[in-house]
Amino acid sequence: MEEFILIRNLRKTFVKSGLLGPRRVVRAVDSVTLTIHKGETLGLVGESGSGKTTLGRILAGLEEPDEGEVLVEGTPLKEYLRRNRVKVQLIFQNPDTALNPRQRVHDIIKEALEAAGEWGGSGDVYEILEEVGLPKDIAHRYPHELSGGQKQRVAIARAIAVKPRFIVADEIVSALDATIKARILRLMKRLQGEYGFAMLFISHDLPITASISHNVAVMYSGRIVEYGKPKDVLNAPMHPYTAHLIASVPSLYYGGSRPARIELKEWDGEQLSGPGCPLLRRCPLALEGVCDKSAPELRPVGGRLVACHRPLPPGLPRGAGVGGVGAQVLSR
Amino acid sequence: MNKALLEVRDLSAGYITRKGYVPALRGVGLTINEGERVAVVGESGSGKSTLAAIMTRLEPRNLVIESGEVLYKGMNLLRMNGKELRRLRGREIAVVFQNPSESLNPLLRVGDQVVEALRLDGLRGREAKARALDLLRRVRLPDPERIYRSYPHELSGGQKQRVAIAIAIARSPKLLVADEPTTALDVSVQAKILDLLIRLNEEEGTTEVLITHDIGVAYDFAHRIIVMYAGRVVEEGPAEEVIREPLHPYTKHLIKSLPKAGELPSVEERALTAVAAKGCPYAPRCPAAIKGVCDAADPQPIKVGERVVACHAVARDFLG
């Protein structure tokens, strides 16, 4: 596949002011190198505080990175955005904050069409509403008159109205009921087929992300720790953090049998300041003299990229544990 | 063995809103047995949270209970006054909410809030503190001494929810109702909170009712699953049976909406959300709907083995 976005060695730090405690520097995005291909969905998974939203905001041009570069079709991101601002769209978790409560749906979409220079009359609005599975009469309603799922569809309609090249979808289904979630996922998949946009799908939910993505990147403490095909990552994780995320997923999402599980020690949100693996203090597999000496680089192993000094073997028999290496293995 | 702790009988209720009366529960009947873990599953608008609110008698003021009984150890909670209810709360029935930030007092140290619950049982001073620390330990909070001295804002979401659970179980309630206790938390924290609730049930025999929108969570948690739709119980039975062989078309649909093993969920993309005014509320969405039957009358719950199902099509299959 052709490369669309190249992210190289991206860094972004925030300083937490010391109002109620010591001043801290938080590395929200730390040495991230990633590629998003044309028409691809890259899933970005991590817990709150992992830096996934910051990375999405940088790619949408809402944050400036401290270091590193982002090339979109060979053009630096800043320049690309100057020329194609409207072609990069962001969809959020909460459509309530994204939709103007005083605007009717018709006008919300009209505005987007105008911004893209595509406005040709109300017929266009109805067409786009139909495209996202909403009835015509929604056009004359206000956001507060709609259900959560309908509002999210309006936000999606607005985003695709401009024929985007790239969409950052940040937790867009997290607040929705399971069945509506499923429908929105199918909708996004179909729209991507029709419109051909690339998408960064950000979520804390690995099974959901895996189901819609072509590739999945798992983020922890600002770093990408595992990158690969969704089924590989979901069914046979190699990074202990990914395995830990999977330990938390209800078994039904695996259709019954689940891969090996690892339980990490609880995290207080504090980043590791010294050398060594960011997961050092939580990982039951951490090895003295190795994992505390240097942070592992993302390198190819087992058909994917893994940043771990002691990756788990890929393709463990399903349901098997990781024995004999000090891991706390769970089985229910 | 199967001794009923809580029985809900023919419960109908609704909200008075600016737009008029909105029914929330329509003839709900269910039994929670002693020592059981039950999950109530449904989407928003299914009535599951209204049910939880009535079970704990913490319903909002604009809720009207039209009819029915909620029997706790045979006593009708709906007939009790404030004083009688206060006597039950905490010691018999306790509740954990979705958002721990709202259930904890931001101005009080965590320890004082746990002690506050213990004081109701007459514990004071050093004894109360020791018991509070023990509770914080039991909900597996790291460094209980530090947590004891912390304010809620100094804790993570998962830690706050553990504190809320510690307070809920402080007086060893018989029944714990948890209304979406993990929805606001990260997945990995979610799983740990559920594990904690399961352990609590296994070790102390606390009867637990979990309200959730995630049938996957329900399956891992519960002995028995109750599926609700549009204010009714549509299917109820042992978790394993309900998931492996769902009978009600809506239960089947819920299971299909989960992404499995990296595959997109196999549901239709279009949403049909219409709820029928007459007949089975699920009929407009239902692939198994029978014309002239499902749109004519509300299906009555029937017993199929250990399960209860309210569906005309299922009734036809099993009763002929």
Return the ∠ at Cα B21 (arms to B18 and B22), rounded to 5°. 105
Decide if B254 touches A, using CB distance below 8 A: yes
Q: Which amino acid type is present at position B180?
A: E
- Does the structure show a pLDDT above 90 at A42? yes
pLDDT given for residue B269 in this prediction = 67
Q: Is A299 helix (H, G, I), strand (E, B) or coil?
A: strand
Nearest to A178 among B190, B215, B264 (CB): B215
What residue ranges of chain B are covered by domains with CATH 3.40.50.300? 4-92+173-274
- Give the separation between CA B221 and CA B202, rounded to whole angstroms: 12
Decide: helix, strand or coil at residue B189: helix
CA B137 to chain centre: 25
Chain B residues touching residue A248 (CB < 8 angstroms): 187-192
Residue B246: alpha-carbon gap to chain centroid: 20
**pLDDT score for A193:** 93
**What is the 8-class DSSP label of residue B263?**
B
Per residue in B53-69, pLDDT (tens digit) is 999 999 999 999 999 99
The CATH number of A3-16+24-235 is 3.40.50.300
Average pLDDT over residues A110-132: 91
Label residue A246 by pLDDT band (50, 70, 90): confident
Q: Which of residues 123-142 of B touch A (CB under 8 A)?
A: 142
- In terms of Cα–Cα distance, which of A128, A193, A138 is closest to A161? A128
* Residues in chain B closer than 8 A to A186 (CB atoms): 264-265, 267-269
Chain A touched by B107 (CB under 8 Å): no
Q: Could you tell me what percent of chain B has a pLDDT over 90?
A: 74
Half-sphere exposure of A133 (CA within 13 A, CB side): 21
Please name the residues between 46 and 85 in chain B that touch chain A, using a CB distance below 8 Å. Answer: none
Question: Rounded to two decimals, what is the model's pTM?
Answer: 0.86
For chain A, the structural domain boundaries read 3-16+24-235, 239-332
Tell me which residue in A149, A190, A235 faces B261 most closely, judged by beta carbons: A235
Report how far residue B180's alpha carbon sits from residue B164's, in angstroms, rounded to the nearest whole number: 13
β-strands A166-170, A3-16 pairing: unpaired
pLDDT tens-digit map of A128-180: 998 898 888 999 999 999 988 899 999 999 999 999 999 999 999 988 888 88
Mean of all residue pLDDT scores within chain A = 87
Report how far Cα B50 is from the mean position of its chain's Cα atoms.
10
Yes or no, beta carbons of B213 and A149 under 8 Å apart: no
pLDDT band at B158 (very low <50, low <70, confident <90, very high): confident
Task: Flag whether pLDDT at A329 surpasses 60.
Answer: no
Task: Please count the residues of chain B.
Answer: 320
Least confident window among A49-58, A248-257, B15-24, B246-255:
A248-257
Question: Per-residue confidence at B266, pLDDT binned at 50, 70, 90?
Answer: confident
- For the domain B4-92+173-274, what is the CATH code? 3.40.50.300
Terminal Cα-to-Cα distance of chain A (whole angstroms):
41
Residue A269 reports pLDDT greater than 80: no
Q: What is the pLDDT of residue A281?
A: 87
- What pLDDT is attached to residue B237? 97
Which amino acid, residue B126? R
**Nearest alpha-carbon partner for A131 in A107, A156, A102:** A156
Strand partners, B207: B175
pLDDT tens per residue across span B180-215:
998 878 777 888 889 999 999 999 999 999 999 999
Q: Tokens for A196, please give them.
A: 């051909």
Locate B180 and state its tokens. 């979406």
> Is the pLDDT reported for residue A317 higher than 80?
no
Q: How confident is the model at residue A94 (pLDDT cuts 50, 70, 90)?
A: confident
